[in-house]
Structure 1
Amino acid sequence: MINYTKISVIGLALSLSTLVTYGQDNLVNSLKNNQSENSKASFKFTDVINLANTPVQNQGSSGTCWSYSTNSFLESEMIKAGKQPVQLSQIFSARNAYVEKGINYVRMHGAVSLGDGGALHDVINMYRKYGAVPQEVYTGLNYGTKINKTAELGDIEKGVLEAVVKNANGELTPNWLKAYTGVIDAYLGAVPENFTYKGKKYTPKTFANEVVGINPDNYVELSSFNDHPFYSKFTLLVPDNWSFDQVYNVKVNEITDIIDNALKNGYTVAWATDVSEKSFSYKNGVAFVPQTPYTEMTAKEKADMFNGPQAEMEITQENRQAAFDNYQTTDDHGMHIVGLAKDQNGKEYYIVKNSWGVTNDYKGYLYVTKNYVKYKTTAFLLNKAGIPSAIAKKLGL
């Protein structure tokens, strides 16, 4: 049984495309200079909203943040529904997405992204098609490792699929998918057709229906870009949207309006964002948008970036769009927004649960300003019941 508590205010998978290229270890290493020894003493955070969530996990050396963050979100959805949460298998969701991604890769003749990376909606889509299992039933640790380590698997997956797309026989054999799936299962383990949990026998589908009990139709994904009509759906053009899912388009200020409303009504939010900014510190657990661009800062300003609250740049629809268009905002990482806090000056920050273990200043959590969320969000997913009624009506929900 999972013990869950509301997180202490004192004390976001890596998915998306950065991890495909670099791996989590290298991304974390690239962020190691974004920190200060005096940061924690310089901030005084006070809890405003702090929603119950399950313990922080560690995705290891894998690009599965999208699965860790969204499964964490589903666990909080269980809590919201009054259920005892189950620590869900993130690798079960990822394994099924790898299979579907391989099918898509072959259909597209290789002209689509591959690798560990994914999107928040992938977990919902895999839940709908395959169900869910507890982490204890399917860990994905099938050859002696204690944490995920998927680089070799990714290389072999790519080699198999490239051979299939090359199509040396002149037509595809009926066995290519079986061979591809066999590679995945050799590394992660075969998915059990049925299993026993708390003395009762389930399949992944019956476990999802009877124990997890969420309705995948209740969840929507949104973003904000001014090159598409607002309050309509569009295909989010980021590399890890391999399934070409569509998201709802809202205005930039409505990103935080929606998140605020969700939190106030007890709903957490799965969040996809860019963490490559110099103003994102995993170690110090703080992210903001500096008023002065990093390249124009003095040495002292750079050294003081995480030493207490800082002035921020105003975020508009235009500068948000420009950052996305010129690749300053990319789909780097997925995390889980679980609450709201204020610093000593009254500025509000979202409390964000990450999946890199508990090694930072706040035991795996971060405090992220609303401006950072407005500026750097690539997508966010939530229960549609958390959307303000006026905005839901405009979206036709």
Structure 2
Amino acid sequence: MKKILTLALLAVFAMSANAAKPKKAASSNKPVFTTIKENPITSIKDQNRSGTCWDYSTLSYFESEILKATGKTYDLCEAFVANKTYMDRAVQVVRLHGDCQFSQGGSAYDVLHVLKNQGICPEDAMPFPGSLYGDSLNNFNEFFGQLEPYVAGIAKSTANKISSQWKVGLQGILDAYLGQCPEKFTYEGKEYTPKSFAASLGLNFDDYVTITSYSHHPYYTQYAVEVQDNWRNPLSWNLPMEDMARILENAVMNGYTVAWGGDVSEPGFTRKGLAYFVDTKKAEGLSGSDMARWLKLSPAKRTNLIDSLGCKVPELEPTAEQRQQRFDNWELTDDHGMLIFGIAKDQHGKEYYMVKNSWGETGDYKGIWYMTKNYIVANTMDYMVNKNAIPADILQKMIEAKKNQGIGD
């Protein structure tokens, strides 16, 4: 998820507006939204200058899962997850002598792994993001300027044997910039360890599965999606595109949220809080330009053109063949993690997923993006969902597939 930082910075100065109720359109092209289904979410956070969308979006997902299961609101600590994850990732890089990537990015599974194995703490049990180095929010420029060469230096060492002290040094860097993970803390008058706190949240961490859809692996099998930030190699269920889309719809309409990972580098993803799977051939026709001119436009000017078309922008219908081609040619990339929590429609009846971002209260909808269903299906890399949100017939196929492949629960 590498292009997130640039997009986040572009979003900082966008104007905001309330998205909960239908609005008067500034022009005939500005969408006017009516909410169809909206599930509870926690407050909008700001990852700022850090590549931690995977961390923010997935903890936000689990906060919503807790809300659904218990009615309680928590603010879980992203720095705890980042501290544990970066150490684990560094250990893997060193074990492989540097023949894999060490970076700020990650996946939803990294958060689940930490919750299950190392626990979690509330936000205020660790220093506020950025406070240890005099910033008001995360800024990983100096942090990773120290961390990356340190890990690379160990991983590429020519020594016949390395000591375990490199972990002590690395932990010092992590603690200096993220804060030291507490062994014990008090929350609402009760003492916890990170593991006992995670156990108290009312969740079954075995309820969560990851879904994807690509044709280079058989459908209704599990495999590790081949992207660099999927470094733990967790298995995702590979389903037909139609089933992948139906799970999303079913989850939201039945009160669940979805931890979504996908591509936001497409021209139809705007900094104003909208995303369309643009049919560029039709778009250039509507704008009065020819394709040669469209192709010469800078990304910023293309975005402005799409903004002017608004909800009248023509869209492509996603297909499995198209998804596979875009994945193989590096066009469909693993850019960003967000939280899908609702469904809305515009004045023309087009339906959108309501998506919580982690760029602060930016854009026209104060940190919420309205992304068409076509955009989401076309640009999904994978997503995490509670298995209880999966339609019964699809879940049964998954259970039967595991039995036929000799895989236990």
When normalised by structure 1's length, the TM-score is 0.89
Are positions 1:232 and 2:221 aligned together?
yes
User: Contact 1:278/1:294 (CA < 8 Å) preserved in 2?
Assistant: no
1:247-279 Cα shifts (integer Å, max 9, x gaps): 110111222200111112111000001111111
1:99-119 Cα shifts (integer Å, max 9, x gaps): 110011111111111111001
Q: Distance in 2 between matches of 1:33 and 1:182?
A: 35
Secondary structure at the aligned position of 2:54 is classed as helix
Following superposition, the deviation at residue 293 of structure 1 comes to: 4.4
Following superposition, the deviation at residue 91 of structure 1 comes to: 1.7
Secondary structure at the aligned position of 1:281 is classed as coil
What amino acid is aligned across from residue 132 of structure 1 in structure 2? Answer: I
Unaligned runs of 5+ in 1: 1-15
1:63 matched residue in structure 2? 51
Q: Distance in 2 between matches of 1:33 and 1:186?
A: 30
Unaligned runs of 5+ in 2: 16-24, 290-301, 400-408
Q: Distance in 1 between matches of 2:27 and 2:58?
A: 29
Q: Distance in 1 between matches of 2:9 and 2:322?
A: 28
Report 1:259-274 matches (<5 A): 259-274=248-263
2:306 matched residue in structure 1? 305
What amino acid is aligned across from residue 162 of structure 2 in structure 1? Answer: L
Q: Distance in 1 between matches of 2:306 and 2:164?
A: 57
Q: Distance in 1 between matches of 2:382 and 2:27?
A: 29
Query: Which deviates the most, 111-120 or 37-46?
Result: 37-46
| Residue of structure 2 aligned with 1:250, choices 236, 239, 254 | 239
Are positions 1:75 and 2:50 aligned together?
no
| Residue of structure 2 aligned with 1:339, choices 323, 342, 351 | 342
User: Contact 2:274/2:369 (CA < 8 Å) preserved in 1?
Assistant: yes
Are positions 1:387 and 2:367 aligned together?
no
Report 1:156-305 matches (<5 A): 156-210=146-200, 212-283=201-272, 285-293=273-281, 300=288, 303-305=304-306
Are positions 1:90 and 2:93 aligned together?
no
Identity of aligned residues (%): 38
1:43-85 Cα shifts (integer Å, max 9, x gaps): 1111110001111100010000001000000010011102312
1:215-257 Cα shifts (integer Å, max 9, x gaps): 2111001110000000100110011111111111011122220
2:134 matched residue in structure 1? 144
1:119 matched residue in structure 2? 107
Are positions 1:353 and 2:356 aligned together?
yes
Q: Considering only CA atoms, is the larger Rg found in Structure 1 or Structure 2?
A: 2
| Residue of structure 1 aligned with 2:87, choices 99, 106, 121 | 99
| Residue of structure 2 aligned with 1:372, choices 363, 375, 399 | 375
1:7-63 Cα shifts (integer Å, max 9, x gaps): xxxxxxxxx2334xxxx1x2335679999x957971111111000111110001000
User: Contact 1:291/1:312 (CA < 8 Å) preserved in 2?
Assistant: yes
Q: Distance in 2 between matches of 1:267 and 1:315?
A: 24
1:273-330 Cα shifts (integer Å, max 9, x gaps): 11111110122x1101122349956755755523223331121100111111111111
2:406 matched residue in structure 1? none
1:13 matched residue in structure 2? none
Are positions 1:315 and 2:303 aligned together?
no
What amino acid is aligned across from residue 66 of structure 2 in structure 1? Answer: M
Are positions 1:326 and 2:314 aligned together?
no
Query: Which deviates the most, 40-49 or 78-87?
Result: 40-49
Q: Distance in 1 between matches of 2:288 and 2:259?
A: 35
Per residue, is there more helix in 1 or in 2?
2
What amino acid is aligned across from residue 355 of structure 1 in structure 2? Answer: S
What amino acid is aligned across from residue 69 of structure 1 in structure 2? Answer: S
Secondary structure at the aligned position of 1:280 is classed as coil
Secondary structure at the aligned position of 2:50 is classed as coil
What amino acid is aligned across from residue 370 of structure 1 in structure 2? Answer: K
User: Contact 2:98/2:156 (CA < 8 Å) preserved in 1?
Assistant: no
Query: Which deviates the most, 266-275 or 106-115?
Result: 106-115
Query: CA 1:34–1:326 in 2, change beyond 3 Å: closer, same or farther?
Result: farther
Following superposition, the deviation at residue 188 of structure 1 comes to: 1.1
